[in-house]
Amino acid sequence: MSRKTFRQANRRGSILPLAVIVIVLLSIIGVGMLRCGLQARVYAARQANQIAAQVAADAGLVAAIAEINVKAAAMTDLSSLTKPGTVCAALSKPTDVALANCDATYSYQVSANSVMSVQDLTVTATGKCGGAQKQVVARITKGGGPFEYGVFTENGMTLKPGTVVDGYNSDVDKTKMNLPVKVGTNSTESDSISIGKDAVIKGDVAVGPGADPADVISASQATITGSSYALSEENEMPAVTVPTVLALMPVSPAPGKAAVITGSAKYSSLYLGKGDTLTVNGPVKLYVTGDVSLSNSAEIKINPVDPLASLTLYLGGNLYLKNGGMLNNTTMDPKRLMVYGLEGCTNVSLDTAAVFYGAMYTPEATVNIKSSMTIYGSVVANGLNQASSSDIHYDASLEDVTPDFYPTEYEIQRWWEE
């Protein structure tokens, strides 16, 4: 063998180990990449299951709230929620409900937070997918009725010098006027809320969404003890509708000078003159398609002796109280006198020095307080104007009053994951 041939053979022999080393290295890299890919796939699958479980838990929460609102709207009995932690038997308590186009499932149950009512609930929703599980807990409460404010208007208000607006709770203590109160408007116009010299708002003042409170509120010589802020959204003021049974009643003749009403009735108008007294015994609803006018010391009087006596007045026209005429709620419980103004009610004129215990909801009317009338309750209206100072004492017990025409639903107050 020549030297040249030997060198060529020796070179070929040295390439083989290098090829083996390269193959081994590539195999190791390949196995590593396959392992990384497998781990990534497993991780991705786990993450997908976690996400799907979370989505399922959220879906269970939404489904629970929807069922609660449907049952509440249909007046389904939720009385099993009488003790904190009690599971609501009236609800379906579904288990492992499958989500569409997904392997995930959800379950939920609802329990009470308070022994007082079913207004405050806890929903626990669980989502599952594969080996993953997520749990969401939410505290939900039923939205309040129209009387969350001492005074609220759509288009502004004028409070005269020296007026005091404060709060109390007649269910707790009728004498302690120390609760903070809210006054507000949906308006964003400049000086929509005008508060006179030395007037005092013992609480907060809210203005329309996006507005500058300093622009909307004119109160340079008044005192606001709380905060002034803009609402996040407009306060809902739905139109008043009369209960069907009451609306379909035949029109009754106007009551006499000393009539006693023990049941609901419908009138075309209601006028009480000098010395006339209309006494309300038992729970009474009156629908007056026209105006209500009380003058010359006339009164609609709620009997203080009857523990069930109350008056709900639906106004198709305007309300005029003058010359000593008054809605006399002698029980001194504002919840027992409700005044609701329909679309045709555009003017509520309080031109009499008196004390009014009750709540007014007249979304199309301007309430004009022309004399020094002290109000215990709440006023919600299109507008409010004072001709003289008149104190308004908001009764916080009215927060629980929800008329049939006012939509309320359960909403999430806060939520957390467990």
Q: Give the pLDDT confidence score for residue 377 in this predicted structure.
A: 96
How far is the CA of 172 from the CAs of 61, 148, 177, 180, 333, in angstroms?
A: 35, 17, 11, 15, 12
Residue 412 near residue 140 (C-beta atoms within 8 A): yes
Indicate whether 222 and 259 sit together in one domain: yes
Q: Give the pLDDT confidence score for residue 78 in this predicted structure.
A: 55
- The amino acid at residue 118 is V
Q: Give the pLDDT confidence score for residue 42 in this predicted structure.
A: 64
Indicate whether 268 and 350 sit together in one domain: yes
Indicate whether 125 and 163 sit together in one domain: no
Indicate whether 57 and 131 sit together in one domain: yes
Indicate whether 394 and 414 sit together in one domain: no
Residue range of the domain that includes 63? 1-144+407-418
Count of domains for the chain = 2
DSSP-based three-state secondary structure for 77: coil
Given a cut of 70, the residues of the chain with pLDDT beneath it are 1-14, 32, 40, 42-43, 72-93, 113-119
Q: Give the pLDDT confidence score for residue 413 in this predicted structure.
A: 78
Provide the 10 A C-beta neighbour count for residue 286. 22
Helix (H) or strand (E) holding 366: strand 355-369
Indicate whether 112 and 242 sit together in one domain: no
Indicate whether 414 and 336 sit together in one domain: no
Q: Give the pLDDT confidence score for residue 191 in this predicted structure.
A: 96
Q: For 331-368, how does the pLDDT look when each residue is reduced to its tens digit (9 = 90+)?
A: 999 999 999 999 999 999 999 888 999 999 999 999 99
Token pair 């022999």: residue? 13
Indicate whether 121 and 230 sit together in one domain: no
Q: For 87-113, how does the pLDDT look when each residue is reduced to its tens digit (9 = 90+)?
A: 555 566 678 888 888 888 998 888 776
Residue 349 near residue 325 (C-beta atoms within 8 A): no
Q: Give the pLDDT confidence score for residue 114 in this predicted structure.
A: 56
Question: How many CA atoms, within 13 angstroms, populate the side-chain half-sphere of residue 154?
Answer: 15
DSSP β-ladder status, 97-98 and 105-112? antiparallel
Q: Give the pLDDT confidence score for residue 407 in this predicted structure.
A: 73
Q: Give the pLDDT confidence score for residue 4 in this predicted structure.
A: 53
CA 154 – CA 382 distance, rounded (Å):
5
Indicate whether 161 and 134 sit together in one domain: no
Indicate whether 127 and 158 sit together in one domain: no
End-to-end CA distance of the chain: 83
Q: Give the pLDDT confidence score for residue 82 in this predicted structure.
A: 42
**Which ranges constitute the DSSP H helices of 345-414?**
none
pTM: 0.72
Q: Give the pLDDT confidence score for residue 219 in this predicted structure.
A: 94
Indicate whether 189 and 332 sit together in one domain: yes
Q: Give the pLDDT confidence score for residue 134 in this predicted structure.
A: 92
CA 278 – CA 60 distance, rounded (Å):
54
Indicate whether 157 and 127 sit together in one domain: no
